Structures are given as structure tokens and as C-alpha cells.
Amino acid sequence: MKFLLLILPIFAMANKGLEITQKIDTHNTGFVGEESKMTMVLINAQGDKIKRELISKTKEIPKDGDKSLIKFLIPKDVEGTKMLTWSHKKDDDDQWLFLPSLKKTKRIHSSNKTSSFMGSEFSYEDLGSQEVEKYNYKFISEDDKNWVIERTPLKKSGYSKQVSTISKKYMNAVKIDYFNKRKELMKTAFFDNFKEYSVGKKKMYRAGKIHMKNLLTKKESILEWSNRRMGIKHKDTTFKKEGLNETF
């Protein structure tokens, strides 16, 4: 009996963490499709800056993970390279890379998500589709404005855990602490410039800026969205590997 009394609060915390995450997920679904231009500024430990530009398109897939297409614009040597991702709720994602110089579409394995995205402090894992089913959750704390929830990955990940501070107003994370495999606090992402979007009768917020600070290397990356449009009904062909070498 004493054992049950000890473990019940742990189950309750896990349930509450999952419940809040599901509530946020439900709130943020229904965006149909999204398109935006993204600018990423990479800052090294000495403060030198370099810019990256890309175009991102996302299509919401009911009952499965989203489909996304990223087209690289800057740096110029990779201009026209495209990455197509079909994320799945439980299964490994499907991912393809189109290399314009070879006119070739390569299937790539999605398990290696821990690598840096375009030399930034963001990893592919940070920017990929965040499916609820891929983590365990634990409720940490709550105040008037925010919830704090810890999540641990169920599959291969570059992190031992992530601690998210989630705004009750925006129903989105405003801060995420990333802990490495040695359980050290490695990176912190700050979400800012929230903007409200209407899709049908639904209203939802999206961050216009993420500032990622690597506490171990002192490097930083700032990702900003411009011309973001929500509720777009993308054509299916936009997210087919067969069409990657046809679109400009």
C-alpha cells in the first residue's frame, strides 16, 4: 500500500504531462498547410555571423505525421537542394534529398537526426516534426503563465531529455532546455515574436523567431520566419519524391 502511495504521484505527473502535451497538440493541429521563408543567422564563439536562407512548406496529414519540404537558397553552392520528409507518429520518418547537380533523388536514413542542420546549433531533430507519440512526458510545475514539462525520447535521440516551458497564452513552447547524453544542460532555445494566425474558425500562434544558445560551445543560431502563410492547401505532388526534380 505504501508502495502504491509512493508511485501514484509519479503516474499522476506522467499523465498530466501527457495530457497537457496532447492538449497543445490538438490546439495546434488544423493548420492544413504552411509556407514560409526562413533565415538563419549562425554566430560563432567570436561573434562572427553568417546567413542561411531556405523556403519551407509543410502539409498536415490527418492521423499521421506532417509532410515537409525544405528548399535551400543560401549558401549558393547548395542552392536548389531539397529535403523532403514524411514524418510518422511511431515509425521512422521517410526522408529524401534531391541534389540538383546530379539530378538525383537520394533516400536518406532518418535515424541520424542528431547532426547539425546546415552547420547551425539546431539539429535535424530540433526542427523535425514533434510527434507526441515519440516521447514520454513528466509534469514538472505550473504558474499563471506557463507549464513546465519534461520529455524523454522513446527512440534514438541526441538528447537524454528536454524540459519545455510552455505558454498558456500561446499554447506553444517559449523555452526548451536540451540535455545531452551525459545529462548536462547543452542548449537552450528561446521562442519569440509570436504571431496569431487564423485558419478557418481556428486561431493559433506560431513563434517568428527561435534563438538557440549552445551553452557548451558558446555558439548561437537565430532562426526567423518571414512571409509565413497558414491554412494553405498544398498539392499532394509538392510532397512526392517523384516531383522533386521537376519543381524549380
**Binding status of residue 248 toward other proteins by CB under 8 A:** yes
**Binding status of residue 198 toward other proteins by CB under 8 A:** no
CA 78 to chain centre: 22
- Choice between 19 and 79, CB closer to other proteins: 79
Segment 51-110, which members bind other proteins (CB under 8 A)? 51, 74-79, 92, 94, 96, 102-110
Contacts of 10 (CB under 8 A, 6+ apart): none
Contacts of 62 (CB under 8 A, 6+ apart): none
Q: What is the distance between the alpha carbons of residues 98 and 92, in angstroms, rounded to a whole number? A: 19
Between 158 and 187, how does the x/- string for binding to other proteins read (CB under 8 A)? x-----------------------------
Which among 55-63, 112-120, 194-202, 224-232 is the span making contact with other proteins, rule CB under 8 A? 112-120
Are 123 and 143 contacting, i.e. CB atoms less than 8 angstroms apart?
Answer: no
**Binding status of residue 42 toward other proteins by CB under 8 A:** yes
Segment 200-239, which members bind other proteins (CB under 8 A)? 217, 235, 237-238
- Choice between 104 and 169, CB closer to other proteins: 104
CB of 73 to other proteins, least distance (A): 10
CA angle 157, 127, 17 (to 5 degrees): 65
Contacts of 72 (CB under 8 A, 6+ apart): 52, 53, 54, 78, 79, 80, 81, 82, 83, 118
Provide the binding-site residues for other proteins, judged by CB under 8 A: 42, 44, 50-51, 74-79, 92, 94, 96, 102-112, 114-116, 119, 158, 217, 235, 237-238, 240-243, 246, 248
